[in-house]
Structure formats: structure tokens, C-alpha cells
Amino acid sequence: MTKDDGAEPRVGVEPQAGVEPQTGVERQTGVEPRTGVELQTDRTAGPAFPSDPAKIEELIAQRRAHLSSTIDELAARAQPREIARRSAADMKGRFRAFVTTPDGELRTERLAAVAGAVTAVVVALVLLRRRSNR
């Protein structure tokens, strides 16, 4: 494979290109760095797979374990209790950011505005209740 043919080598695979004389299909071989498994790629066929059946089974087992852990993690994240916990933690963080500066000091102007708004609502409710009881 040359740089002029427009094909990009697979990431992490040491390319050794060649063309099979019988089929004319370009092949690329290399070693996957994470697993150390030797790979072969048909440039026309798609992803690379090891040529040894035992290594194929090993690769399948590794990918199955990874997929299983990913599914378990997604299932745990989707639990209502976990969603509620994350929401509560997010609200606590937002509240802390609202009432404190990045230095950790209280933002008294915001606290005073909130206290004033709460007081106004309570006074309005008390006055409305008194009028309706007459």
C-alpha cells in the first residue's frame, strides 16, 4: 500500500500490504496493540479478524465481556433510584453554585432576593386567605 492510493491504514495496526495473486484482493496484516492478536484485513471486505480460530474465540470472548460490562453499566444507570440520586446530586451542585461564589463565599445579594421573594409570596397567600374567610 502506498500513500498515493488514498487508503488510510487502520489505527494501531502495523501495515504489511500485499496483493493475493489468485484473487487480486489487497490484504493488510498487523497486530492489534490492545490484545496482541495478529490481524488480516481485506481492503474490500471491512474489519480485520485474526486468522487463527483460537484467537478468534479469544477475541470474541473479550468483546463479549466488554459488551456485558457495558450493558450492566447502562442497566445500573437506568435504575430509578440511580436516576433520582444523580438528579439530587445535580440539584445540590446547582444550589451550591447559586448561593456561593467560586471562592466559597456566600452570595448575599442572591440570598436576600430569594428571601424577599419567599416573604412576598407568603404575605400574598396570607392576605388572600384572610379575604376568602370573610
Successive 10-residue mean pLDDT values, the chain, 134 residues: 47 48 54 66 60 89 94 91 94 92 90 94 94 82
Q: Please report the DSSP string for 33-47 in residue order.
A: TTT--EEEEETTT-S
- pLDDT recorded at residue 42: 53
The residue from 76, 91, 109 where one domain ends is 76
* Shared domain check, 27 and 85: no
Is residue 118 one of the residues assigned to a domain? yes
- pLDDT recorded at residue 3: 45
CA distances 82 to 75, 76, 87, Å, are 10, 7, 9
- pLDDT recorded at residue 44: 52
Is residue 1 one of the residues assigned to a domain? no
What is the span of the domain harbouring residue 56?
6-76
The residue from 37, 55, 76 where one domain ends is 76
| Number of separate domains in the chain | 2
* Shared domain check, 20 and 72: yes
Element (H, E) at 127: helix 108-133
- pLDDT recorded at residue 69: 94
Is residue 46 one of the residues assigned to a domain? yes
